[in-house]
Structure formats: structure tokens, C-alpha cells
Amino acid sequence: MDFQLTEEQIAVRDAARDFAKNVVAKTVLERDENQRFGEDEIRQLGELGFMGMMVDPKYGGSGMDTVSYVLAMEEISKVDAAISVTMSVNNSLVCWGLEKFGTEEQKMKYLVPLASGQKIGAFCLSEPEAGSDATSQRTMAVKDGDDYILNGTKNWITNGSSASTYIVIAQTKPELGHKGISAFIVERGMEGFVVGAKENKLGIRSSDTHTLLFTDCRVPAENMIGEEGFGFKFAMMILEGGRIGIASQALGIASGAFEASVEYAKTRTAFGKPICEHQAIAFKLADMATSIEAARLLCLQAAYLKDQHLPITKAGAMAKEFSSRVAMEVTVEAVQVHGGYGFVKEYHVERMMRDAKITQIYEGTSEIQKIVIGRSILK
Ligand code: CAA
């Protein structure tokens, strides 16, 4: 295996690093405090080509590989996971699904503005009573002439109010179980579609997470992705790629907390020397660095497999389960290394600890990842 990055991959990583440091870092504390969506930061990310990184340039994307995506996700997430979740959902869940399974008309109409960063997308699967158990969702789409009429509620939708284009998964024939689920492209402004309450969250506070309500929302049949009944498999395939995005987000949160801890431990003195020279702290830094490196390798392996068009089911789930665990462990230790300063907002690590938790929950909980890994091993 080749562990060397190409010149292009290094350039992408460095561009993301510069952007995170020079732009995202300036507003991160204020946006977290006020739960303010980073509209300007996301617009600039789009201009840099980071919102449709892997999409073919003929559909407005940057035509990069998944390894570059992981590198960029890590760099942005080091500074702000609330910005990187919008980037991940747009890239992995929305653009990838449209490029792979959309019709040419759907790609020209919806993918081009999403991949070029002019518009933002959202992926709507979860419901008030259907998160992990995705087949038990209740949103209904009933055929009516050339349209489908959607009724139901979606919950925990990232980019809920900032998006213009929503991929909505709904039941078309509930009696068929997962084979009766379909996927639709719904536009902001379609009659009967309302963006509901915004969640007041523990972490990634500046990303906009909303409930969405569909009441007799008429969606043209031409907005269906794939055939009727394809929606569940479509969602599962999309989520496989999504896991790589969230795994690299978790990796970035851990790396950000680690870098802050090293810096702090070198400058803070106690008992007459920098605290990094006390074994109690040096061992913590060693454990953090080792876990982060292992997480990085899992993320890059999953990305590499995706780029080779090889199966990523197990590798993606392993990367997400492990990296999100590392993010949680490392950020808790980062707060400990910082002592009292870690508990206040100016030092960022308390925010990283709050942000880390969601990576063990969304786009498939850690328990779901273990189901996926277990099934892959045993099948
Ligand atoms: N690729 C292709 N097909 C797949 C697949 C995959 N990765 N995984 C499953 N399928 C297919 C199966 O082959 C099966 O089809 P057949 O009957 O034709 O063989 C069908 O889908 C049903 O599969 P299962 O029997 O395995 O389904 P299940 O009900 O046991 O569920 C699960 C499996 C893995 C637990 C799945 O429900 C799951 O992933 N749940 C988690 C959902 C999730 O991640 N939610 C997060 C919401 S999105 C989000 O958080 C976005 C955000 O805004 C950040």
C-alpha cells in the first residue's frame, strides 16, 4: 500500500487547512454561542470547490478523489465540525446520490447548483419514531396522476433551513417493507412543505438541524430517484459513503483537540516545568496521537477502497465507529490536559468535546455500525 499523498492531495489538504485557519476560525466561537449558521463560510467553501468535491466537473463538481475529501474534511473539522457537517451532507449524502442514481435532467437541474456550491442540499430519512430502524418510517408518498402527494414529518435534518434541495425518503407501498420505500427530490418552496422547529443542540450548534413537515406536498413523479421501491437501498448505499465523511469529521475533531493539547502542554508550566514534561500528560498525548493515527488509517483505507470502486460496507462502518470513539475519548482527555482552562469556551476543547458526541449518533449510531460490521464479517 502506498502511504504517500499525491501533490494534488497535499494541495487540497493545505487549501482546506488555510481556509479553516483564516476564515472559519474567526467566527467559530460566536457562531457556536449564537447557533448562527455559517452562511458566508459555506458560500466560500463552495467557491473553493469543497461542496461537490468528488462530482464530475461536467456537473459542477471538482472531480477529486475520496482521499482528498477525507483530507479536506479532517482540516475543516479540526476547526469547526458545524461547518464540516454541512460539507459532508452536501458532498456524501446529496451530491453523490444524485450523480450516481439521478437522471440526466435531475443532474442538470439539481446537481449542478449543489456541487458548485450555489445551493445546499439536505438528506431526509430520520423521523420522530424511526432513526436507526429506517424501514419503519411513516412518511407516505401516494401516486396521484403525474405527481406523488407527500405527507409526514422528518426529524433531525441537517441543513434543514439552509438547504434548497431535499432528498426525501418515503413509503410508497408500506405493505412491501423496505421494497416499498422510494426517494424523491423536493424543492424548497413546494406547496405543502414547511421547515419546522430548529433544534437547540449540545454540539455542532451553528449547523441548522430542523424538523420538516410535509402536508399534501405535491412532488412531480419525475423527481423520483431511481424506480419506485428503490429508496431504501438508495439510502443505504448513500449512507455507506456518508460514513466516510463523518468518520473524517470525527478524525478532524480529535486532531484539533490533540493539536490544541500539545500546544497548551508545551507552554503551561506546573511544578517548575512545562506540563508536557510530566509523564502523566506525556502519556495522555502519546495515547491520543496513537488513536488518531489509527483512525486516520481507517478513514484513508475506506476512501481508497471507494476510489477503487471496491466494497466499503465494512471499512466505512469501521472507520466511523472507531473514529467517533476516538473523537470522544481524545476530546475528553484534551479538556483534562487543559485543566480549568479546558472548561471555558475560549480554549475551544470544551466545544470539541460537545461536537464529538454527535459523531457517535448521526448517519448511523455506533451500535448500527457494529451491526453492519458484524454482518459483513459473518455473511
Ligand atoms: N447497500 C445496498 N443494499 C443494502 C445495503 C447497502 N449498504 N444495506 C442493506 N441493503 C439492502 C439489503 O440487501 C436488503 O435488500 P434485499 O432484501 O433485497 O436483500 C435491504 O436493503 C434491507 O436490508 P436489511 O435487512 O439489512 O435491513 P435492516 O432493516 O435490517 O436495516 C440497517 C439495516 C443497517 C440497520 C439500516 O436500517 C441502517 O443503516 N439504519 C441506520 C439508518 C441511519 O444511518 N440513519 C441516519 C439518518 S441520516 C443522518 O443522520 C443524516 C444527517 O442529516 C447527518
What tens-digit pLDDT sequence spans the chain (379 residues)? 678 999 999 999 999 999 999 999 999 999 999 999 999 999 999 999 999 999 999 999 999 999 999 999 999 999 999 999 999 999 999 999 999 999 999 999 999 999 999 999 999 999 988 889 888 889 999 999 999 999 999 999 999 999 999 999 999 999 999 999 999 999 999 999 999 999 999 999 999 999 999 999 999 999 999 999 999 999 999 999 999 999 999 999 999 999 999 999 999 999 999 999 999 999 999 999 999 999 999 999 999 999 999 999 999 999 999 999 999 999 999 999 999 999 999 999 999 999 999 999 999 999 999 999 999 999 8
Three-class SS of residue 312? coil
Q: Which residues are CB-neighbours of 262 under 8 A, at least 6 positions away?
A: 276, 285
Nearest CA to ligand 1 atom 25: 178
Instruction: Supply the pLDDT for residue 75.
Output: 98
Instruction: Supply the pLDDT for residue 129.
Output: 85
Q: What is the DSSP string of 147-162?
A: EEEEEEEEEEEETTTT
Cell of 202: 449540545
Please state the atom number of ligand 1 nearest to the C-alpha of residue 131.
45
Instruction: Supply the pLDDT for residue 179.
Output: 96
CB 78 within 8 Å of CB 255: yes
Ligand 1 pocket test, candidate residues 178, 201, 234, 361, most atoms within 8 A of CB: 178
Cell of 115: 456541487
Q: Is 363 a catalytic residue?
A: yes
Ligand 1 touching residue 362 (CB < 6 A): yes
- Indicate the pTM of the whole model: 0.97
Q: How does pLDDT run across 214-232, given as a tens digit for each residue?
A: 999 999 999 999 999 999 9
Instruction: Supply the pLDDT for residue 1.
Output: 66
Alpha carbon 307 to its chain's center: 18
Q: Which residues are CB-neighbours of 60 under 8 A, at least 6 positions away?
A: 52, 111, 112, 113, 114, 115, 116
Ligand 1 touching residue 247 (CB < 6 A): no
Q: How far apart are CA 173 and CA 129, in angstroms?
A: 19
Ligand 1 touching residue 130 (CB < 6 A): no
Instruction: Supply the pLDDT for residue 134.
Output: 84
Ligand 1 pocket test, candidate residues 233, 240, 305, 375, most atoms within 8 A of CB: 233
Nearest CA to ligand 1 atom 3: 233
Ligand 1 touching residue 213 (CB < 6 A): no
Q: How far apart are CA 206 and CA 228, in angstroms?
A: 36
Nearest CA to ligand 1 atom 22: 178
